[in-house]
Structures are given as C-alpha cells and as structure tokens.
Amino acid sequence: MESLNIREIVEKILTDLVPGINLLSDSLMEEEGVQSLTMIRLISELDEAFNIEITFADIEENSFHSVDAIENMVKNHLV
C-alpha cells in the first residue's frame, strides 16, 4: 500500500471521528479532544481499513500523538 494512501485514509478516519480536528497537531490525543471512546473507535477503524490488528502493546501515547505517528504505526503493521 502506497504511503500517500495510508495517510489519506488515516486523515479521513480522524476527520470522520472528530470533525474539525487539526490534522497538523502533534498532540491529537491531548489538544484535539480525542478521548477514550474515540480512541477505541479509531483503533477499530484502522484495524478494519488496513486489515491489521493493533494490540494493547501497540497503544502508546506516542503511537497516536500525530497523523505521522499513526501512519508509521500502520506501516509497521503492514511490513
């Protein structure tokens, strides 16, 4: 899967879950209002969109703090 496509899908999922989210933020979880229930939905959406399984061990604050971090985490699962 091409890198640009991963980023576009991640951005679409985030904007669907949190309308008005600042995708350039380095603090998506803190400043952009991504809360626990939204995180669960985000993980579920990523699992489904990329046919991956994000485990509890993958869930670190740094893995979800920015679009770049989420994109990199997805890439690591696709390798």
Tell me the pLDDT tens digit for each residue of 24-49.
Answer: 988 887 765 667 788 889 999 999 99
CA gap 8, 74 in Å, rounded: 12
Determine the structural domain holding residue 25 and report its residue range: 3-78
- Residue 17, both tokens: 């879950």
CA gap 35, 27 in Å, rounded: 12
How many separate domains does the chain show? 1
Tell me the pLDDT tens digit for each residue of 44-70.
Answer: 999 999 999 998 888 876 788 899 999
Sign of the Cα torsion 42, 44, 46, 48 reads negative
Give me the CATH number covering residue 51: 1.10.1200.10
- Residue 73, both tokens: 């985490």
Tell me what pLDDT residue 6 has: 94
Tell me what pLDDT residue 31 has: 64
